[in-house]
Amino acid sequence: MEYLVNQTRIMFIRGDITAQDTEAIVNAANSSLLGGGGVDGAIHRAGGPQILAACKKIRATKGLCHPGEAVITTGGNLPADHVIHTVGPIWRGGNHGEPDLLSSAYRNSLALARENGLRSISFPSISTGAYRYPKEKAALIAVGVISAFAAANGKPEEIRMVLFSDQDLQVYIAAWKKIAL
Ligand code: ADP
């Protein structure tokens, strides 16, 4: 599925984030920036040791990456030139600032892409794996931030939501239709 907001193409596809040829892909990292499971593990495996080396440098200079924040590194051996590492919130029932932190994770990743002049970016479904954020709720936040950013900036040229299963893809498309009405 593909939609146009302002000058930005917003796409929803089923796929593997590590295979995307956008200028940046987003990693659902943890605060340590030193790797983990899920998307994080897949990105470091596919991208090679340069990514971890760059993350270690950031750790040494800036410390932890707190929930809602984002940092950028090389994409190493990935098709994408850059990885934007962001940390989503761990779901703790929804009354611990989770919606704001998840919004910030998407917004700060998009802002970092803009600051670096990147034309295209791919996102996974942040926080909905190990961090247990309910998918329907997370999808509404993701599409809300993405469409607002596109409407306000007209950039990047392409924002791709990359879902790992058909079921997740349907959840994100349904969320898009809900906010687009
Ligand atoms: P978090 O810790 O933020 O919850 P996870 O990596 O555990 O992040 O999961 C986030 C989502 O990414 C889940 O929906 C999971 O199915 C999906 N996912 C896992 N591997 C990949 C991949 N290679 N490409 C795209 N999505 C993936």
- Domain span at residue 52 reads 2-179
Please check whether residue 149 is in contact with residue 107, taking contact to mean a CB–CB distance below 8 angstroms: yes
Segments of the chain with pLDDT less than 50: none
Amino acid at 48: G
Write the pLDDT tens digit of every residue in 32-74. 999 999 999 999 999 999 999 999 999 999 999 999 999 999 9
Total number of domains constituting the chain: 1
> What is the per-residue pLDDT for 180?
80
Using most ligand atoms within 8 A of CB, pick from 12, 17, 39 the residue to mutate for ligand 1: 39
Please check whether residue 120 is in contact with residue 80, taking contact to mean a CB–CB distance below 8 angstroms: no
> What is the per-residue pLDDT for 181?
60
Which is it for the CA torsion 165, 169, 171, 172, positive or negative? positive
CA distance 29 to 19: 17
CA distance 47 to 59: 19
16 in active site: no
pTM of the predicted structure, to 2 decimals: 0.98
* Secondary structure (3-state) at 150: helix
CATH number of residue 87's parent domain = 3.40.220.10
> What is the per-residue pLDDT for 77?
98
145 lines ligand 1 (CB under 6 A): no
Task: Report how far ligand 1's centroid is from the alpha carbon of 165 (Å).
Answer: 10
Catalytic residue among 16, 21, 40, 168: 40
CA distance 164 to 13: 9
